[in-house]
A and B are shown apart, each in its own frame.
Chain A
Amino acid sequence: MASAEELAVIEKAKVLMVGAGGIGCELLKTLALTGFKDIHLIDLDTIEVSNLNRQFLFRKQHVGQSKAKVAREAVLKFKPDLKIEAYHANVKNSDFNVDYFRQFNVVLNGLDNVDARRHVNRLCLAAGVPLVESGSTGYLGQVTVHVKDRTECYECQTKELPKTYPVCTITSTPSKPVHCIVWAKDLLFGKLFGDKNQSSDLVVHTTDQNTSAATEDAEFFNLKDGETFESYACRVFDGVFGHNIEVALKNEDTWRARKRPRPLHINEVCSDSKRMRIDTLTSTANGSSEHTVSAARMLGLNNHQEVWSLKENASVFLQALELFHATRKKEFGSLVFDKDDQLAVEFVTAAANLRASCFDIPMQSLFEAKGIAGNIVHAIATTNAIISGLIVLEAIKLLMDSLDDCRTTYCLEYPRRRMLLMPAELSGPKSSCYVCSQTPLCLEVNTSNTKLKDIVEKIVKGKLSVNSPIIMQGSYLIYETGEDLEEDMVARYNQNLEKCLDSFPTPIVDGSILLLEDLQQEFTCSLQIKHRETFDEEKEPDNMVLSGKFSTAARDQTSLGLVQPAVDNNPIQAIEDDDEVILVGDAAKSGIKRKSLEEDAVVSGKRQRTEAS
């Protein structure tokens, strides 16, 4: 229970919640019951059936509606005096700009992706609003606090990314179940039902006289005139699991150090007479709607946790392929694998298992295969409730101005030292962080009548003394100079110089950020553009105003991945020698001050973060 002092602060606080999903529902409820009165809520998603088991503010009748809006209504029912503004929108929408963020005392994240987290992190840094960041994956979760210039920002530590696999492993030399599942859902499924024009390296091409003619033919995966669904399905089976493996076996060098795969043919797996088969056409004619069609159910395979036998996998494969042709034909060409598409999951499970069998890799149950294919970690409502409680505790500490008491808290699966919740001290900002280590310069300018040329001459060369500038906007290079440039590049840049800022293909407008570098000098800074209509001719003859401080220090190369730290467990070594020269004020009253940035005092060990919510 909050103290009277805390309660007073809580009641006056204005908070922004980003995300109204697993963590968001719990969080909104906890905020309301704690006494928060003024809450903004942003979520772009609509409610799905699979949310209902844990996102308890939603009911079956809400499926398809905005998460933010339904969550608001549900909470207002038991706390009618709250002020909740709900936005069914993407937080990256430009309406939610720095000025929007500035109105809040604290921002609370309950997001499910790195991209949106980065965006919110940057806006919070720019607006100077503290951020409570959170995530949960199954039993695991964490809550942490990011305050500009006081703690690490979200991007100070690189995040672990979902793994991708080299094409060769997937197409030629799988060794784990996941390789077979990726093959089945990305390559085979795409080839059969997806966009035919998309290039894929699934098919083993050959000109060998004896083995040619099967799957290298672009028509191979198409149903031929007069071909029955059944004979088509058998032909695909033999091509993909038989012929293609036989062709691959000819690459002797590949198998010198690996186990040779074994080709599979349908008649060896289950002979014609013994094949499990239900007549597709008659059974689907009985009114089952498209997305409830299930090959496994037709074959009596109802236990999704059980691993099918080779013969059962073969039957599901054939049956699912036939069903796709019989019931889903109009979606062909645009189908992509979706974990909520039952028939697709069955097909991918069977195909992956058949391939696994060729390569002597363990087979998976439908439940397991679906989890791997859809990157699903089953969410646990209790974890989300714990995480939300922790978010509110950290938010209260921030509102009470006790940042020293804030902690990163990890929620563990098994107790460690008899504790399930592990608090850890917050780390200071990383001087090498690309995102929070430097404050962008601010350039006020009329973006609709100022040309890039004006900025290059008056600001970049005039005030910042950049010799051979390189200007980038996001991923786009908009200006470079130098003897080494090709003529076509020079011509393009000369055209750019004459363009007004807001007429670039990606317009440079209020809020845009330009990255400025020098080819020769180790100089880098970012320039935040602020649009202003008019300027005082006498006091501001340039018709633009530059303000802020900038650093001329070489960027820490480790942060760009250019240098591999020699000793992994000694991060100090990689970031030593990181003094920074800071020029304060604009050109008129500039003075140079040398400041040695405090090194991160605490060397934190390898920490895990979980990304989903």
Chain B
Amino acid sequence: MATGLAQARLAEERKSWRKSHPHGFVAKPEAQPDGSLNVMLWRCTIPGKEGTDWEGGSFPLSLQFSESYPTKPPVCAFPAGFFHPNVYQSGKVCLSIINEGDGWKPSISVKQILMGIQDLLDTPNPASPARHEAYLLFIKNKTAYKRKIVEQAKKYPSLP
């Protein structure tokens, strides 16, 4: 198998992540059942920001890259059913910087993607709701929304 632009860029991203990355974040290629490590699929964890309802949680996120990366963005997804106004039922994140034809640029790094998604957790974008039920709760019943978020954060506790 030849190494293409996508793999070369991901090797670069991996190097830069290993050299320095924000505290509390994890991002690494996924181990396959046969023990191999595929750079096209990364398993990440995003810590909830301190001082927000998301604090204390470490949220698993997968980044699926394609051969067209970095021309095209990776597909970023939380586990299915993840509760957030801008996260689809399937777990896919709806955020401008990772939408092709919207805010995505090939120069955006994995680090910037993950930090962008961390920001999104506590500052949902009501103009582009992906999940109606979370959206409605967010705009109509802040207390219930907060309760739900805190509950969810407990479901994904940070590793000591």
Contact = CB atoms under 8 A, between A and B. Distances in A.
Contacts of A167: 88, 92, 94, 130
A476 B9 contact: no
A572 interface: no
Nearest to A473: B1
A86 interface: no
B3 A505 contact: no
Contacts of B5: 155, 158, 434, 559-561
A564 B39 CA distance: 23
A496 B36 CA distance: 9
B90 A206 contact: no
Interface stretch (A25-33, A316-324, A482-490, A574-582): A482-490
B151 interface: no
Interface in B96-133: 99-102, 105-107, 109, 126-133
Interface residues of B, number: 57
A506 B39 CA distance: 14
23 contacts: A115-B67, A164-B72, A167-B94, A168-B130, A201-B130, A205-B89, A208-B136, A251-B132, A434-B8, A472-B3, A474-B1, A477-B37, A484-B18, A489-B37, A505-B34, A513-B1, A513-B2, A517-B15, A555-B8, A561-B5, A561-B71, A562-B9, A562-B109
Main SS of the interface on chain A?
loop
B38 A476 contact: yes
B133 A515 contact: no
A597 interface: no
Contact of B15 (A208, A253, A470): A470
Nearest to B108: A561
Interface string B4-45: 110111011011001100000000110110111111100000
A168 B91 CA distance: 13
Interface string B34-61: 1111111000000000000000000000
Nearest to A485: B18
A526 interface: yes
A156 B109 CA distance: 23
A161 interface: yes
Contacts of A115: 67
Interface in A549-584: 555, 559-564
B71 A199 contact: no
B78 interface: no
A463 interface: no
Contact of B39 (A172, A208, A472): A472
B133 A205 contact: yes
Contacts of B15: 470, 517, 519
Given A201-B88, A257-B127, A564-B107, 7 more contacts: A251-B129, A254-B129, A472-B7, A474-B7, A476-B39, A505-B34, A513-B2
